[in-house]
Structure 1
């Protein structure tokens, strides 16, 4: 199973992604709904404020113009209807919203802009008007000339006479005069005068105490006996319905997008890069022993990956995927940084000249940055203290055309080269001689055949004999029993490692292990 299979094969993994996607969709639903409804409410409040400001401005402008016109007509109350009718008819025709102007004298309406001479008592014509006030507004359901059609009566009294003045009757079309087409979406309005109200939701006048109890914005006009009520729902059922529907559709889209995005994030490439960034990779050190003396001669660096969800991922799984995806280079650079970080601690328990072995991918070996990466590693290690050994598989030597030049360069840097897992790849003897190898690592498969009557057993003797003839040092890995150890000692294998001595250890456990065991003295060996 590849890395992708390890990361995504379980149902629990997909269930976790599904749960995360649902949570993301739910959070988006709540957030989008809340923000949208808040914006709608805020927009409606702002809209209502604009309507009120416009209505106040328009109303004051209209009434000021109306009163000014009526004041100009006040001197006509001292004249007979015959000489005044033409003037008041002209004013009625050119004053917007005016149905009629009436001249009133001694409590009687004696002249109409519409019908001329008449003699009607004011108390019968408009009983609600307060004639004592200088300026009064009243609503009335019927008038003698137009029964059944509400009207607005405006009374302007002569300053020096209580029952003489001008009376204007205004059409119901006053409301469109106040609210221009720009604000035509304003829902319901009630114009309140005294105990009655002229509304947009009924054709007849309505008592003030019967107005809707829902919340309304009230506009009081200073200096005038009228007010305007605005019934404006900040959130309508339609607003909520459409918002919830839109939120649901978008949330479903977000959930699906999140689901596939999380699946994509679990691709081997993304998982490897994220693991490097989040320091999910770590190092274990396996001690390498000098066979004849049984002392610690060095170590092999083994990279490990502890995934936060999938747990431990085997190296043979993620290294293969790193090579296939081209991420082996950043992974090896990360390994170099981890080694450099632990090097000062390793120097406290290992002698000068101790060997540090680590695997190098053929793919990294062929990159232009390889030499610079190695320079940076050497610069971070204690100067001239450790002896690096790069382990490269047979497959790497066969496929890498520039291996010879790179190996020569590594030798010049003081780095030794080992052929790893010898006998399991495609090499032939000519490669051992051509590439000038320093070590030959005997694969654990051959070591396991020791003491068993298998086809691999005689091959192991041939491998050891070949290495001696080519003057290549040998390292046997995977040693697990005393029988295997004696066999390797008898055949003068130079170094051994395996669970017979120690499993791979963390940096702290490795230091404790070295303190409890004898290390190989390279200085004494040289003398």
Structure 2
């Protein structure tokens, strides 16, 4: 498949969003939702991961696609809760992109949290783009969440961690604790640090009652995962 065929597939793909609940660990009430991008293709010929991997090499297409996606994510969201929106720093680098997202985000400022996702690269250029994006959001007083803390291949940055209101603990932590109980003490330390910093913690990947019981033992603030109900709107 050549680049033009790939591009046409992405543009024509049926897009939909899954809104996944973020739940208060103590009250078990829904605090917020995260909008998760999904694409529906004939015969499942390409994955969502493949799409975003390709888009990192086509900034303009990435920007245009995410403009559409984010507009639909907000338009179709009907709950009176905060909405976490995934943003890759690579779509906010040019003046045109920054101007667009500034108008878009400031108009939704009270209702959203920008979830900063990594692009899978740990080189210095990518790290600088992420730091600049984090600073830009902070200057606009837009709430942020640092995604995938502890995920394999993710970049650890005190700058990124300190600048975020929410720290999302990757589901790999829970899976590792299943294999090695010693990681429980490490995660307890991370969660205590988050709390002492006045930030909020969200443990991802809660899929079973056992996972939920572990999160309760760890005394995090919020949990997220397939253990809780979710809804989706297809477009």
How far apart are the structure 2 equivalents of 1:505 and 1:410? 28
How far apart are the structure 1 equivalents of 2:106 and 2:140? 11
Partner residue, 2:161: 432
Listed as ranges, the gaps of 5+ residues in structure 1 are: 5-262, 509-527
**Residue 388 (structure 1) aligned with residue 126 (structure 2):** no
TM-score (norm 1): 0.39
**Residues 415 and 264 from structure 1, CA distance in 2 versus in 1: closer, same or farther, beyond 3 angstroms?**
closer
How far apart are the structure 1 equivalents of 2:111 and 2:45? 30
Q: Structure 2 matches for 1:392-403, cutoff 5 A?
A: 392-393=117-118, 399-401=126-128, 403=130
- Quick check: 1:477–1:498 contact (8 Å CA) kept in 2? yes
| Number of residues of Structure 1 aligned to a counterpart in Structure 2 | 229
| 1:296 Cα deviation from its structure 2 partner | 0.8
TM-score (norm 2): 0.82
Which has the higher relative contact order, 1 or 2, with Cα contacts under 8 A spaced 6 or more apart? 2
How far apart are the structure 2 equivalents of 1:317 and 1:361? 15
How far apart are the structure 2 equivalents of 1:396 and 1:415? 25
Q: Structure 2 matches for 1:219-368, cutoff 5 A?
A: 265-266=4-5, 268-275=6-13, 280-307=14-41, 309-311=42-44, 313-326=46-59, 327-343=61-77, 346=78, 349-350=79-80, 354-368=81-95
What is the DSSP-based 3-state SS (H/G/I as helix, E as strand, rest coil) of the residue aligned with 2:155? Answer: coil
How far apart are the structure 1 equivalents of 2:157 and 2:133? 20
**Residue 415 (structure 1) aligned with residue 142 (structure 2):** yes
- Quick check: 1:355–1:389 contact (8 Å CA) kept in 2? no
Q: CA RMSD in A?
A: 2.9
How far apart are the structure 2 equivalents of 1:301 and 1:378? 15
**Residues 414 and 431 from structure 1, CA distance in 2 versus in 1: closer, same or farther, beyond 3 angstroms?**
closer
How far apart are the structure 1 equivalents of 2:83 and 2:190? 24
Partner residue, 1:467: 194
How far apart are the structure 2 equivalents of 1:402 and 1:426? 13
What is the DSSP-based 3-state SS (H/G/I as helix, E as strand, rest coil) of the residue aligned with 1:415? Answer: coil
**Residues 415 and 428 from structure 1, CA distance in 2 versus in 1: closer, same or farther, beyond 3 angstroms?**
closer
Quick check: which has more Rg, 1 or 2?
1
What is the DSSP-based 3-state SS (H/G/I as helix, E as strand, rest coil) of the residue aligned with 2:212? Answer: helix
Q: 1:501 aligns with which of 217, 221, 228?
A: 228
How far apart are the structure 2 equivalents of 1:409 and 1:429? 17
